[in-house]
């Protein structure tokens, strides 16, 4: 079992955390063969970590049995080449159950997602994450996204009350607030940029050196290039890469709710990997928009071929 300190040490090496999609067949059943093929291609690249059943992996679309299969297969294919971090959320008892399932399957850490209730009191929200942290001996990351938007004082209390909490993944994209949180809590937690590949420049300007990437599930080389340029201060080259090849994708991802997942699955299909449809309430990319994604993918391939 990977200890919380060991997980943190792996993360602090810096780099890209990949968020693989969970492929489904046309009938919306789980495509485990496709997932295996996707992961085998992904693991040809040096990654900081791999998240099983994360947001891009449609955690909230999976049954507990499917979740167990996804985590187990991810651990098997990754085979220790990077930490496997499993998502856990929904409600308190189910989040605890998922975390324990992930630990039994050999995961190296737990990524705590927001609970189902969007108007939770601060004390109740903290108790929810404390339960996830106490469910296993694994290191835990909190994913601050959607309505789980914390003040610096709240994060400080979370860090003090959850011994296994090792890292914080920002999914809000509010760099001012994130900077205030980092300044208040300091080195107690390891800070991860998690709102998107398009914010790498902003995150790295704050001193962050690890970010979570949806693009990595399709084209890890592009995500790794973003990290390298940002970490070495090659700002002009980084901005050019972002503006030409990353921002267009994120503009499309914000076009409709659910597109942050379905655009990536469509790109996987276009790249010859396994993507498939999304499960409701997410929506698939419209047929007339597929060519836009094909153009984006071709621009990546042309850039990387130079």
Query: Which residues are designated catalytic?
Result: 143, 169
Q: How many residues does the chain have?
A: 306
What residues contact 126, with CB distance under 8 A and at least 6 apart? 154, 157, 158, 161
Beta bridge partners of 85: 51, 109
Beta bridge partners of 213: 18
Number of neighbouring beta carbons within 10 Å of residue 147: 12
| Cα three-residue angle 293-251-294, rounded to 5 degrees | 5
Cα-only R_g, the chain: 18
Beta bridge partners of 165: 140
CB 299 within 8 A of CB 253: no
| Cα three-residue angle 84-89-217, rounded to 5 degrees | 40
Query: What angle separates helix 290-305 from helix 259-270, to the nearest 10 degrees?
Result: 60
CB 134 within 8 A of CB 126: no
């Amino acid at each position: 079992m990977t200890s919380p300190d060991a997980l943190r040490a792996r993360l602090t090496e810096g780099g890209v955390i990949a968020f693989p999609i969970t492929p489904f067949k046309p009938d919306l059943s789980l495509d485990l063969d496709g997932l295996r093929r996707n992961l085998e291609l992904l693991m040809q690249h040096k990654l900081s970590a791999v998240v099983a059943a994360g947001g891009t992996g449609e955690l909230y679309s999976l049954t507990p049995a499917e979740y167990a299969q996804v985590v187990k297969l991810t651990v098997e294919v990754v085979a220790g080449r990077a930490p496997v971090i499993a998502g856990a959320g929904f409600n308190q008892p189910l989040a605890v159950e998922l975390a324990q399932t992930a630990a039994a399957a050999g995961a190296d850490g737990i990524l705590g997602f927001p609970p189902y209730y969007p108007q939770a009191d601060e004390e109740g929200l903290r108790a929810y994450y404390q339960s996830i942290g106490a469910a296993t001996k694994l290191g835990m990351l909190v994913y601050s996204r959607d309505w789980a938007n914390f003040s610096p004082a709240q994060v400080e209390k979370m860090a003090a009350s959850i011994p296994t909490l090792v890292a914080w993944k920002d999914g809000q994209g509010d760099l001012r607030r994130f900077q205030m949180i980092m300044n208040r809590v300091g080195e107690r937690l390891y800070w991860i940029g998690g709102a998107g590949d398009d914010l790498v420049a902003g995150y790295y300007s704050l001193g962050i050196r690890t970010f979570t990437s949806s693009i990595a599930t399709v084209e890890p080389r592009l995500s790794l290039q973003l990290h390298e340029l940002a970490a070495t201060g090659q700002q002009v080259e980084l901005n050019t890469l972002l503006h030409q090849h990353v921002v267009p994708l994120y503009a499309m991802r914000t076009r409709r709710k659910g597109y942050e997942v379905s655009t990536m699955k469509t790109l996987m299909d276009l790249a010859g990997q396994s993507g498939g449809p999304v499960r409701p309430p997410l929506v698939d990319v419209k047929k007339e928009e597929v060519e836009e994604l094909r153009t984006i993918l071709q621009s990546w391939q042309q850039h990387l071929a130079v």
